[in-house]
Amino acid sequence: WSSCLSTPPRMRKDVRILLVGEPNVGKTSLIMSLVSEEFPEVVPYRAEEITIPADVTPERVPTHIVDYSEAEQTDEQLFQEISKANVICIVYSVNNKKSIEKVTSHWIPLITENTDKDSRVPLILVGNKSDLVEHSSMETILPIMNQNSEIETCVECSAKNLKNISELFYYAQKAVLHPTGPLYCPEKKDMKPLCVKALTRIFKVSDLNNDGILNDNELNFFQRTCFNTPLEPQALEDVKNVVRKNLNDGVCDNGLTLKGFLFLHTLFIQRGRHETTWTVLRRFGYDDDLELNQDYLFPPLKIPPDCTTELNHNAYLFLQSVFDKHDKDRDCALSPDELKDLFDVFPYMPWGPDVNNTVCTNDQGWITYQGYLSQWTLTTYLDVQRCLEYLGYLGYSIIAEQESQASGITVTRDKRIDLQKKQTQRNVFRCNVFGDTGSGKSGFLQAFLGRNLMRQKTIREEHRSYYAISTTYVYGQEKYLLLHEVFPDFDYLSDADVACDIVCLVYDISNPYSFEYCAKVFKQYFMDSKTPCMMIAAKSDLPEIKQMYGFSPLEFCRRHKMPPPQSFTCNTAAAPSRDIYTKLTTMAMYPYWSVNTLHARLRCMCTCNRCTFCLCQNFLNSELLQRVRAKLYTVVLRRHVSQADLKNSTFWLRMSVGATVFAVLGFAMYRVLLKPR
């Protein structure tokens, strides 16, 4: 990997380097030698701040070099420069023991006192004037480095001979962009826990088949993702051989294990190639503190008013691959252990026990494939920022090779445009369920997930969910219907409680006071809105009792141009019928349909024989109409019609009059049938 290192992602806009030290140790000479590439004959007390353009520096980052002079600057100015610096070079003279002693007695304590404890500033010890001595000062400096973990490295150089000048400032840049401190503990000679945790997540995200091994294909994908270049087969074998020689269980089945993966990064850091590890960490979204960057987790996503958010096809494909990766027993459901393994790359468990009562599960209570996708759809619809965060933890942008998680989200168009165009491309529709306490709202939600009354009784109260989501089919199209149970206090309904695609009003037919609540909610919030509403006559397996309200539920629906109340019960031996949910989804998809159109399209299942649909159906199926139709067919269509008749205007006049008479008689019979009702 380290041999194929490309330019790492830039996490900073620039780097600010401050040089401090005792007078006459050569701070200003070092800066001037770097800029002019020759030793200056005249050295001022202090060099002006210098900015090196990004295209000149090895790390492609603008670099500001700041000099300090005790003769020209006050202590307050020094403290300000220390607080602004990204890295501080403490310069000493290799031929001056006093300047070396001052490193520990004065400069390190001074810098520590004037920097934030939480934001560690890396230090570099710079031994200048190496041309004046034959011996090295490293024996004296090494104990100082071991005692102070903030010291990144030590460089011996000569401003006069231009020795290690460019290397000095490269190491200073590197100390900021690729600091050793967060990665490695010199005392333990091992990586720090946060670094191990981050690399473990990266390994699991990169392990595409979840077998605990990075095979050659996965290693090459990882290499291309992080370094923009594949590994040659021989280089790949060399990497694995290095691990084999140093670690017994680092390679398994010719693939790299987690232990081998961590060993390689430890080796890079120990050999001074920690920029390799930082490149990997930053590609997978980590910042300088080894926390996932907020820009990575929450990419910008603009959502205009009256628009909703849905997962697109690419996101569903990715989530499907994640499911398949963790469904080890191939039973199309995630056991608790499989679910825990899936969310092992998260810093916390995102799904609680209530999720099992929000989506479809199997007989063991495990989330099915359909339930898994439904929960992701629900999260995207209700809280898209959380969905972006979750996709970030799973590594969507890396695995799907997209710019960010936002590419997996579709922002639907304004609902008003859908109404104007009388068509929609949306796939998720929200139904808010209203009803008085005990009316059967919870049972209605759970029945949507295929649970009858017996299964519902096993749900613990603390695991109860106020949402239910699953798929329905409307004219062959798969759509998601999201049911939301609204708390029964209609005096305090929020905008979110009212905003939806369709309203479901549930009343208990066995409770004479249950319907009154539905009527009040409708009149107060939905009577003048364009949101379609449907009345649900719940607990239809119980004897029906007259509702103590001014109108019967059927009469109320007729007066307010709503479909008639739909009978429903979840007290069944098998799974409850899903027909009612298809009707709700259809009404949500086509809110501009008239009541009569809806009634006809929804295949009215009521037996009231009072509504327009039922009356028309009865009329069309009546024996009288069948006889009239047969007679007309015989007289008009079966008689011989000559070519002369077809060209005769009198013939067509008679046909028109007959059709008109038939229509008038039909309407008159409809009115006669309607009166006694």
Give the model confidence (pLDDT) of 158-179 as tens digits: 999 999 998 898 889 888 888 8
Asked if 335 and 279 sit in the same domain, the reply is no
Among 58, 70, 134, which residue's Cα sits nearest to residue 99?
A: 70
pLDDT of 204 higher than 70: yes
Alpha-carbon radius of gyration of the chain: 38
Confidence band of 657 (pLDDT split at 50, 70, 90):
confident
Asked if 202 and 256 sit in the same domain, the reply is yes
Asked if 171 and 279 sit in the same domain, the reply is no
Asked if 158 and 21 sit in the same domain, the reply is yes
Asked if 272 and 305 sit in the same domain, the reply is no
Whether residue 649 lies inside any domain: the answer is: no
Residue 530, CA distances (Å) to 415, 525, 577 in order: 11, 11, 28
Confidence band of 623 (pLDDT split at 50, 70, 90):
low
Residue 374 confidence (pLDDT): 98
Whether residue 527 lies inside any domain: the answer is: yes
Whether residue 623 lies inside any domain: the answer is: no
Asked if 219 and 166 sit in the same domain, the reply is no
**Which of 412, 432, 458 is the last residue in one of the domains?**
412
Residue 200 confidence (pLDDT): 97
Confidence band of 646 (pLDDT split at 50, 70, 90):
low
Q: What is the DSSP letter of 412?
A: P
Residue 6 confidence (pLDDT): 37
Residue 118 confidence (pLDDT): 65
Whether residue 625 lies inside any domain: the answer is: no
**Which amino acid makes up residue 18?**
L
pLDDT of 259 higher than 90: yes
Percent helix, strand, coil in the chain (nearest 5)?
45, 15, 40
Lowest mean pLDDT of 99-113, 114-128, 408-422, name the range.
114-128
**DSSP per-residue string spanning 413-448:** PPHHHHHHHT-----EEEEEEEE-TTSSHHHHHHHH
Residue 338 confidence (pLDDT): 96
Whether residue 643 lies inside any domain: the answer is: no
Confidence band of 629 (pLDDT split at 50, 70, 90):
low
Are the C-beta atoms of residues 155 and 17 closer than 8 Å to each other? no
Among 450, 427, 556, 409, which residue's Cα sits nearest to residue 501?
A: 427
Whether residue 460 lies inside any domain: the answer is: yes
Domain boundaries, position 449: 424-599
Tens of pLDDT, residues 8-31: 444 557 899 999 999 999 999 999
**Which of 226, 260, 291 is the last residue in one of the domains?**
291
Q: How confident is the model over 41-64, as a mean pLDDT?
A: 85
Count of domains observed in the chain = 4
Pairing of strands 333-334, 428-435: unpaired
Lowest mean pLDDT of 129-143, 445-459, 540-554, name the range.
129-143
Residue 369 confidence (pLDDT): 97
Confidence band of 606 (pLDDT split at 50, 70, 90):
very low
Find the helix or strand (DSSP H, E) in which 379 lies.
helix 369-382
Confidence band of 618 (pLDDT split at 50, 70, 90):
low
Asked if 364 and 511 sit in the same domain, the reply is no
Are the C-beta atoms of residues 538 and 440 closer than 8 Å to each other? yes
Strand partners, 51: 64
Strands of 104-150 (E only): list them.
Answer: 123-128
Residue 676 confidence (pLDDT): 45
Whether residue 329 lies inside any domain: the answer is: yes
Cα(577)–Cα(327) distance, rounded to whole angstroms? 29
| CATH (domain of 494) | 3.40.50.300
Residue 4 confidence (pLDDT): 42
Confidence band of 7 (pLDDT split at 50, 70, 90):
very low
Confidence band of 619 (pLDDT split at 50, 70, 90):
low
Whether residue 666 lies inside any domain: the answer is: no
- b/e for 22-35, b at 16 or more Cβ within 10 A? beebbbbbbbbbbe
Asked if 56 and 123 sit in the same domain, the reply is yes
In 3-state terms, what secondary structure has residue 562?
Answer: coil
**Which of 391, 412, 433 is the last residue in one of the domains?**
412
Between 6 and 239, the higher pLDDT residue: 239
Confidence band of 150 (pLDDT split at 50, 70, 90):
confident
pLDDT of 93 higher than 50: yes
> What is the chain's mean pLDDT, rounded?
87
Residue 620 confidence (pLDDT): 57
Asked if 147 and 194 sit in the same domain, the reply is no
Asked if 431 and 568 sit in the same domain, the reply is yes
pLDDT of 314 higher than 70: yes
| CATH (domain of 241) | 1.10.238.10
**Highest mean pLDDT: which of 149-153, 430-434, 487-491, 635-639?**
430-434
Confidence band of 630 (pLDDT split at 50, 70, 90):
low
Confidence band of 628 (pLDDT split at 50, 70, 90):
low
Lowest mean pLDDT of 34-38, 576-580, 602-606, name the range.
602-606
pLDDT of 654 higher than 80: no
In 3-state terms, what secondary structure has residue 487?
Answer: coil
Between 9 and 453, the higher pLDDT residue: 453
Asked if 24 and 43 sit in the same domain, the reply is yes
- b/e for 434-469, b at 16 or more Cβ within 10 A? bbbeebbbbbbbbbbbebbbebbeebeeeeebbbbb
Tens of pLDDT, residues 543-587: 999 999 999 999 999 999 999 999 999 999 999 999 999 999 999
Residue 652 confidence (pLDDT): 62
**Which amino acid makes up residue 233?**
P
Residue 645 confidence (pLDDT): 59
Are the C-beta atoms of residues 33 and 39 closer than 8 Å to each other? yes
